[in-house]
Amino acid sequence: MVQGRVLVIAGSDSSGGAGLEADQKVIAAHGCYAMTATTALTAQNTQGVRGIHVVPAEFVAQQIEACVEDVGVDVVKTGMLAAADTIEMVARMVVKHKIPVLVVDPVMVSTSGAQLLPHEAIQQLSQHLLPHTTVLTPNIPEAALLLAQHGRPAIDVCSVADLEAVAREIQALGPKWVLVKGGHRPFKEDLTAAETEAERRIVVDVLVGAGGEVLRVESPYQASSSTHGTGCSLASAIAANLAKGLDTPDAVRSACRYIEAAIRTAPGLGKGHGPLNHFHSTYTLPFSPGYFIEYLLERPDVKDVWKQFMHHPFVMAMGDGTLPLESFKGYIVQDYLYLIHFSRANALAAYKAQNAEDISRASEIIAHIMRELKLHTSYCDTFGISIADVRATEEHQACTAYTRYVLDVGQTSDWLGLQVALAPCLLGYGAVAQMLHGHADTRHEDNAYWAWIQNYVADDYVEAVKLGSDLLEKHILLQSPTRVEELVKIFIHALKMEIGFWEMFPYQ
C-alpha cells in the first residue's frame, strides 16, 4: 500500500549509493511512491566523482510537469540541482503547482570532497528556493557556505548550543525548519567537541523551527567509511515520513534513527566511502503476493515430501483400483474419525479468527466437513460398515498422532499456524484427486474408489480448497521471513503425518 507520493529532483549516482538511486531506495523502504526529475548525470563511485553532465533546466521542468500533472505529488525533495537556472526553475514550479511540502538537501560538496554546486548557484538557492522550503538539511560545511554567501561570519562549532545557533542563523534565510547535521563534528560524552578520534562518542543533529521549537537527536558515533549518500538518504527519509503524515519533529527523529541503523548495518561495498543499507527494516518475502502455496510446494524441503504424499502407492492403488478393499474400508473409518477432529480444529480456527470475514470462511469450511462426513457415512453404508461400528473403532496411532498434532498447534500457535497445520489435508486431498482424475492409469469403470476421487474434484470441495488457499495467501503477506520459515516447518510435519495416514493399511 502506497502511503505517499514523493518527487525527487536531483542528480543521478552511477554507483547507486547517493543521488536519485539512493533516494528511490529510501522512499520505497518507507512505503512511499518515488518519482524523479533528473538534474544531472554523474560518473562516480565510492572513491569520488569523475564527471558531471548537467541536464538542461527546460528538460528538468518537463519531467516535473509530467509527474505533477499525472500521478500528483505530496512532497518534493531536492538534492543536487547542479545549476543556477535549474534552481530558479524549481522554485517557479513549487509556486506554480502549490507544492505543499518541500524538503531541500543543499547538496554542495560530496562526501569525498568534490564540488557539486557552483558557487554562483548557492546565491540562487538562498534567494529563490529557501523561502519556499519546509525543511532544509545542511551539514556543517554546507551551513558555513550558506552563511558565508550572506556575509555572515562562520560559527566555530564546539557545542550543541553552537549547532543550534547555526540553525537559527540559517532559518533567518527563509526555511520553516532547519536541521543542521552534526556528523562532521562529533562530540565527547559531555557533549563538547571531540578533538581526537578516541574522544568521539556522540553525533547530535539539531532541528529548529520558527515557533522556537528545538529538537536534538543524539546518535552514537560510528567510525565507519560506509557514509556515501547519507545526506541524500536522510532528506529522502524525512520527505517520506512527511508524505506519510508525520509532523516535522517526528519525521526528522525517525529519519535520523533510520540513517544511524543504515550505517551500522551497511554492506561494506566499494573501496572508498561505501553505501548504506537502505532496507535494514524492510521484510523481504521469498514469494510474490498470491503465490505462497506455489512457492511452498516447490521448496526443496517440501517438494520431495509433497511428491511422496501425492504419488504414494496407496494413492496410486486407489487410482487403478488395485487397493485391497479391507485397506480402503479401514482407511475410510479412520478418515471419518479424523474428520471429527478436523472439524474441531476448524472450529478452533474460527474462535482464533480476528475478524468476521475469517470467521465466516472458517464456518464455510466446517460446513463442507459436515457434508464430507455425510459422504463418508454413505461410503460406510456401501461397504457394509455401520456408524455404530465406526464409533466403536479405536483410532489408529497414525490418526491419533496427526489429529493431536493439529490440535496442539491450534492450542500453542496462532490462527495462521493452525491454518497451515490443516493445509496438507485440505489442499492435499484436492491435489491428489485432481492428479488421479487425469492420470492415464486411473480406472473410471469397475473401480470401487472412483467415487472417492470424484468427491474431491467436485465443485463444493474445489470451493473449500479455494477458501482455504485464499485465507493462507491473504495472511501470509503479513508475516516476517522468520515466521514464514516456522510455518513451513509446521506444514512439512503435518504433511508427513498425512503420509502416515496412507500407510496405516496395506496397499498391495
Q: Which residues are catalytic?
A: 181, 227, 229-232
- Residue 75's nearest CA partner among 246, 208, 257 is 246
C-alpha–C-alpha distance, residues 401 and 428, integer Å: 18
Sign, CA torsion 308/310/315/316: negative
Q: Give the long-range contacts of residues 299-306, CB within 8 A, separation 24 or more.
A: 299/488, 301/488, 301/492, 302/488, 302/491, 302/492, 302/495, 305/492, 305/495, 305/496, 305/499, 306/495
**Distance separating alpha carbons of residues 346 and 359, to the nearest angstrom:** 10
**What cell does 131 get?**
523561502
d(CA 471, CA 467): 6
Q: What span, in angstroms and rounded, lies between the C-alpha atoms of 396 and 497?
A: 12
Strands 135-136 and 75-78 turn out to be: unpaired
Strand partners, 217: 205
The rounded distance, in Å, linking the Cα atoms of 371 and 139 is 70
Question: Residue 232 belongs to what H/E stretch?
Answer: helix 230-243
Question: 110: helix, coil or strand?
Answer: coil
**Please, how many CA atoms are within 13 Å of residue 188, restricted to the half-sphere of its CB?**
9
Q: Are 90 and 104 in contact, with CB atoms under 8 Å apart? A: no
How many Cβ atoms are within 10 Å of 399's Cβ, its own excluded? 23
